[in-house]
Chain A
């Protein structure tokens, strides 16, 4: 019976959907947020980078690139979160897309 229906074989319309995104294995959206500290100081947090990546190495690269300090904070709900000093929102968004960690529409910038 199934041999007769040739149309249904050979092509799986959901093939590329299940394969996921070709850019890395970033499944969820990366949220980039900003928090105000005292004075005109700010803090940028990056939440939602996939577990496949070593956050410490990312932070190390970011610190060098943006000339700022930064850490990795482990959170029970949100996993490992990057913290960078200063308003690095555009920098980090650019960095993530250039490196190929995430696509442009997977990076969401919050804040003002």
Chain B
């Protein structure tokens, strides 16, 4: 994942923290998936898919700490309620996972195996895996069935009644989520940008270090971006040999960032679909923004610096004009 501190989302700043959190969570999920596959199987009989990840984490931390206590309690559970098949499956699997995780419980397992040898404890790893596979098959059936009923997708199938509005709504949202997995997180695809880096050059000038880099990211001519920034800040400046922009005047990073954000809003993102994948083309003195996603084409405002008041020394200006 990209560094939180370094990356700023220019298009939507308010949602930044939330979005980043989401990203983190997603990342964690993807990280965890491969190593905790066995546990995921165990959790399927809890049916609550949204909270699955959290539970997984909790259990994982709990395992090495009180593995032995757990094993005894589970053993009791299994003895007291042997008539419930599903209940019996659950403790068994937690135990198998435990064996994989820590070796202290491994030594204890033969005892429990003695009590419940039909559960397949204390056997070699090959067998364990086979047991897990069997259980997953058993457990997935009821889980998926319940899920469908819960969502109301097929609750009217086989009956004669009319569809309820809520059911249809749930159905259409399910389809939407299936077709575009991007929406599931509730976030649109965000436009992530590097923040402008700025450094002071002497006391009166500011250097915008990664100016050309940002221009490349935005697919804009540096000339155009430069014109906008200078017009907006009401100063003068130029790009120097190191591809950095030297602006006259003192500017902080957040100030440059707000200007850059305004530039992106006006000249980079598509006005119709807000996608940043656009081309700026010049046509009969006017600039047109052409979107590569929705193919819309609209004109953008020309860059004008407008009225500039005299701020320097008038005598110096006069002397310049004379010479």
The answer to whether A and B belong to the same complex is yes
Is A10's beta carbon under 8 Å from chain B? no
Contacts of B307 in A (CB 8 A): 31, 33, 45, 47, 73, 75, 77-78, 81
Q: Which residues of A contact B306 (CB under 8 A)?
A: 31, 33, 45, 47, 78, 110
Closest chain A CB from B75 CB (angstroms)? 69
How many angstroms from the CA of A4 to the CA of B306 in the assembled complex? 53
C-alpha gap A73/B309 in the complex (Å): 9
Let me know if A45 and B309 touch, CB within 8 A. yes
Q: How large is the interface on B (under 10, 10 to 19, 20 to 34, 35 or more residues)?
A: 10 to 19
- Is the pair A111, B235 in contact by a Cβ cutoff of 8 Å? no
With both beta carbons as reference points, the residue of chain B lying nearest to A112 in the complex is identified as: B255
Contact in complex: A43, B309 (CB < 8 Å): yes
**Closest residue on chain A to residue B254 by CB atoms:** A112
Complex Cα gap A6–B311 (Å): 63
Cβ B250 vs Cβ A36 within 8 A: yes
Residues of A within 8 A of B234 (CB): 33-36, 110-111
B232 within 8 A of A: yes
Give min CB distance, B300 to chain A, whole Å.
14
Interface membership of B36, Cβ < 8 A: no
Q: Interface on chain A toward B: helix, strand, loop, or mixed SS? A: strand
Residue B85 CB within 8 A of the other chain: no
A31 — which chain B residues lie within 8 A by C-beta? Answer: 306-307
| A111 B232 Cβ-Cβ under 8 A | yes
Contact indicator per residue, chain B 203-232, by CB within 8 Å of chain A (1) or not (0):
000000000000000000000000000011
Does A83 belong to the interface (CB within 8 Å)? yes
B233 x A112 contact (CB < 8 A)? yes
Residues of A within 8 A of B235 (CB): 35-36
Could you mark each residue 286-309 of chain B with 1 if its beta carbon is under 8 Å from any beta carbon of chain A, else 0? 000000000000000000001111
Roughly how many angstroms separate A75 CA and B307 CA in the complex, as a whole number? 8
Report Cα–Cα, A110/B229, bound state, in Å.
10
- Closest residue of chain B to A29 (Cβ to Cβ) is B301
Among B231, B232, B252, B307, the most chain A Cβ lie within 10 Å of the Cβ of B307
Nearest CB of B to A85, in Å:
11
Q: Interface of chain B, helix or strand or loop or mixed? A: loop
Q: Does A64 make an interface contact (CB < 8 A)?
A: no
Question: Does the CB pair B309–A36 fall under 8 Å?
Answer: no
Q: Mark B304-323, 1 if CB is under 8 A from A, else 0.
A: 00111101000000000000
Give chain A nearest CB distance to B184 CB in angstroms.
36
A19 at the interface (CB under 8 A from B): no
Q: How far is the CB of B260 from chain A (nearest CB, A)?
A: 10
* Closest-CB distance, A89 to chain B (whole angstroms): 12
Q: How far is the CA of A38 from the CA of B309 in the complex (A)?
A: 13
> Which residues of chain A are near B20, meaning CB under 8 Å?
none
5 closest Cβ pairs, A-B complex:
A112-B255, A36-B249, A35-B234, A78-B307, A47-B307
Given contacts A47-B307, A73-B307, A111-B232, 17 further A-B contacts (CB under 8 A): A33-B234, A35-B234, A35-B235, A35-B308, A35-B311, A36-B233, A36-B234, A36-B249, A36-B250, A37-B311, A43-B309, A73-B309, A75-B307, A77-B307, A110-B234, A111-B233, A112-B232
Contacts from A to B (Cβ < 8 Å):
31, 33-38, 40, 43, 45, 47, 73, 75, 77-78, 81, 83, 110-112
Could you list 8 A-B pairs, sorted by A, with CB under 8 Å?
A36-B249, A45-B307, A45-B309, A78-B306, A81-B307, A112-B233, A112-B252, A112-B255
